[in-house]
Amino acid sequence: MQMLVNALATAAILAPAAVAFTLIFTLFRYANFAAGGFVTVGAFAAWTLNAPLGLPLWAGGVGAMGVCAGAVALSDRVVFRPLRGRGGGTLLLVSIALSFVIENIIRFGYGAQVKGFDLPLTGPLVFAGLRVPKETLAVIAISLVATLAVGALLAFTPIGRAVRAVADNPSLANVRGLPVPGVEAFGVIVAGALFGLSGTLVGVDLAIDPNLNWAIAIPVIAAAIVGGLGSPLGAAIGAIVIGLAEELTAAYFTPTYKGAVGFVVIALVLLLRPQGLLGLKVDRK
Amino acid sequence: MTLLRLHNLRAGYGGGDIVHGVDLEVAPGEMVALVGPNGAGKSTLLKSIAGVANVTGGTLTLDGTDLVPLPPAGRAQAGAVFMPQERNVFRTLTVAENLQVSAWGRKDIARRQEEVTTLLPTMSAYMHKRAGGLSGGQRQMVGLGMALMARPRVLLVDEPTAGLSPLLVGEMLDVLRQLAAVAALGILIVEQNARAALERADRALVLVDGRVVRSGSAAALAQEPDFGALFFGEAA
C-alpha cells in the first residue's frame, strides 16, 4: 500500500509533463526531448520565487507555470517553428540539443549546488499504518486536478476541440476558418504551463539541481509512449504505470535501477503494443 | 446578381501557372460545374479561390470583396468555403465535434448544427461516432456538413463523389443541387462524373490545360456531339 502511495506521488510529478509532451507531439508530430529541460526550468523558477524571494510555494508554482509557458513559446518561435516541415527525427535531435543548452544555462546561472523549497516542517499523516507526508498528498491532488482540467479543456471546450482539430489535420483546419497559428500557440502555452507545474511538483519531492533534466525526461517520455502518443488521458495513465514500475524496481531489485525503468518500459511497449495503451493505430504512408 | 467573380485569373503552386486567365461567375442559388480532363487545372482553380493555391494574376472577388489578400481561413470566414476531395474530416473527432469546430468564432453553433442536421438528416445516425470510422459516403456527407457550418455563400466542392458507389454519386449531387436552391448558395463543383454533374448543374465550364475552352448551359453542353472529346481533352 505504501508502494502504491509512492507510485502515485511519482505519477503525479510525471503526469502534467507527460500530457505536455504528448500535446506537443500531437500538434507538431515530433518528440520534444527538451521536456526534462523545461521541467527543470520550472523547478528553478519556482525555487527562485519561493526561496530567495520568499513567496509561498503556490505563488512560486503559478510563476513557474508562467515562466515555463514563456520558455516553451520562445523555444517554439526561435527553434522549432523555422524547422516546421522537417522530419520528426530532425526536430527530435534539435530538441536534444536544446535540452543540453537549457541544462547548461541553468548550471551557469544557478551553479551545480542542490536546492530545495522553503517549506514549513509538517509531520506526515498516519492512517492504517501508512505514513503519507502532507506535501505528497498535495502533490497528488494538484496534479490530479490539473491533469483532469487539461483533459476537460481539450475534450469539452471550443478551444480544446480546435487544438484537437489542428493536431488532426492542420490544412483542413486552415480552410475551415480556424486560426491555426493561434491555436498552435495556445497548445504550446498550455504545454509550457504543464511543464512548469511538473517542475514545481518535482521540487517538492526531489532535490532541485540541473541534473533533473535527464532524470525526469526519460520517465516523462516513457509515460507518454506507454499511454499512447497523442492521448492526454493515456499520458496520465502512463505516468501511473511508470510510477508503479519504478517503485516495484526499487522494492524488489535496487533503487539504482530506477533510472533504467523508463528505457525498459519504452522498449517493451514498442515491442508489444507500439500504439501505447490508448493511442490510435496509424498507417505509415 | 453575381456572388463569386473571377476575371482573367491565373494560379499555380509556385512553379509556373497551371490556371491561365479564367473568367467565371457564380450567382446565389446557382450550381456551376467545372469539367475537363485530368490535369486540366480544375482542382487548382478551386484551391486558388480557397487560398490553398497561389493566385498569380487577375481578380477574384466575393460579393465585391477582394479575396486575394486573405489567407485561407479569412476566405472561409468571408464565405468562400472549400470542401477538399480527400481528408475532408477530422478523423479523431466525433461527427458532432467536426461540425462544431467548423463554425469557429460563431455564436450560434448549436442552432447552426440543428439547421445543418435538418439539411443533411442522415448524419443524425452517426453524430457521435468518430469520423475516422465512417464509410466513404458518410465522410463526404460530414465534410459537406462541416462546410455548411461555416455559413458559406459560395461552396467550392472538389470531387465530392470520389470513391463513392454509383448510387451514392447521384445522391450526393442531388443533395448539392437542393442545397443551392434551398440555401441560395452558389456552388462551384469539380466532378469526375461529368455527365452526372451536368445533369444537375445550371451552367458548366470545360477546362483544358488551365483554360476555359467551352462554357454555357450545362444541359446544352451535355448534348454537344463533341462533349466526350472535350471532356477527354482532345479538342483543346
Q: What is the mean pLDDT of residues B10-29?
A: 91
Closest-CA distance, B122 to chain A, in angstroms, reads 22
CB contact under 8 A, B76 and A180: no
> Which chain B residue lies closest to A230 (C-alpha atoms)?
B92
CB contact under 8 A, A164 and B97: yes
How is residue B76 written as a grid cell?
A: 472561409
Q: Nearest by CB to B73, which of A158, A169, A177? A: A177
pLDDT of residue B220: 87
Radius of gyration of chain A (CA): 18
B88: exposed, middle or buried (Cβ count in 10 Å: 0-12, 13-18, 19+): buried
User: How does pLDDT run across B64-100, given as a tens digit for each residue?
Assistant: 999 999 999 899 989 999 999 888 899 999 999 999 9
Q: What is the mean pLDDT of residues A263-271?
A: 85
CB contact under 8 A, B104 and A169: no
Residue numbers in A near B79 (CB within 8 A)? none
Q: What is the mean pLDDT of residues A128-148?
A: 87
Give residue for cell 455559413.
B151
pLDDT of residue A16: 94
User: How does pLDDT run across B134-167, given as a tens digit for each residue?
Assistant: 988 899 899 999 999 988 999 999 988 887 888 7
Angle at CA of residue B204, ends B23 and B25, nearest 5°: 35
Q: What is the mean pLDDT of residues B9-22?
A: 91
- Tally C-beta pairs within 8 A across A and B: 74
How is residue A100 written as a grid cell?
A: 543540453
Give residue for cell 467573380.
B5
pLDDT of residue B235: 43
- Interface test mutation site (partner B, options A175, A229, A233, max chain B beta carbons within 10 A): A175
* Percentage of residues of chain B with pLDDT beyond 70: 96
Q: Nearest by CB to A280, which of B81, B84, B92? A: B92
Closest-CA distance, B206 to chain A, in angstroms, reads 26
A168 at B interface, C-beta within 8 A? yes
**Nearest alpha carbon to residue B27 among B8, B44, B52, B2:** B2
pTM for the model: 0.86
Q: Is the pLDDT of residue B230 over 70?
A: no
Q: What is the mean pLDDT of residues A22-37?
A: 92
A180 at B interface, C-beta within 8 A? yes
Q: What is the mean pLDDT of residues A27-50?
A: 94
Contact at 8 Å (CB) between B43 and B158?
A: yes
**Nearest alpha carbon to residue B197 among B222, B229, B179:** B222
Residue numbers in B near A167 (CB within 8 A)? 92
pLDDT of residue A123: 76
How is residue A195 written as a grid cell?
A: 511543464
Q: Is the pLDDT of residue A86 over 90?
A: no
pLDDT of residue A169: 93
Contacts (Cβ under 8 Å, ≥6 apart) of B81: A175, A177, B50, B147, B150, B152, B154, B155, B156
Q: Nearest by CB to A172, which of B51, B71, B88? A: B88
User: How does pLDDT run across A88-127, given as a tens digit for each residue?
Assistant: 889 999 999 999 999 999 999 999 889 988 887 777 778 7
Q: What is the DSSP letter of A82?
A: G
Q: What is the mean pLDDT of residues B110-118?
A: 92
- Interface test mutation site (partner B, options A176, A186, A280, A281, max chain B beta carbons within 10 A): A176
A79 at B interface, C-beta within 8 A? no
- Interface test mutation site (partner A, options B90, B130, B146, B153, max chain A beta carbons within 10 A): B90
Check residues A41 and B108 and name the one with the higher pLDDT.
A41
Classified as helix, coil or strand, A137 is helix
Residues A82 and B223: their CA atoms lie apart, in Å, by: 54
What does residue A18 show for φ and ψ, rounded to 5 degrees?
-65, -40
How is residue A87 written as a grid cell?
A: 522530419
**Nearest alpha carbon to residue B177 among B204, B146, B156, B201:** B201
Check residues A257 and B44 and name the one with the higher pLDDT.
B44
Classified as helix, coil or strand, B108 is coil
pLDDT of residue A285: 42
A162 at B interface, C-beta within 8 A? yes
Determine the distance from the C-alpha atom of residue A7 to the mean position of all C-alpha atoms in its chain, rounded to a whole number.
16
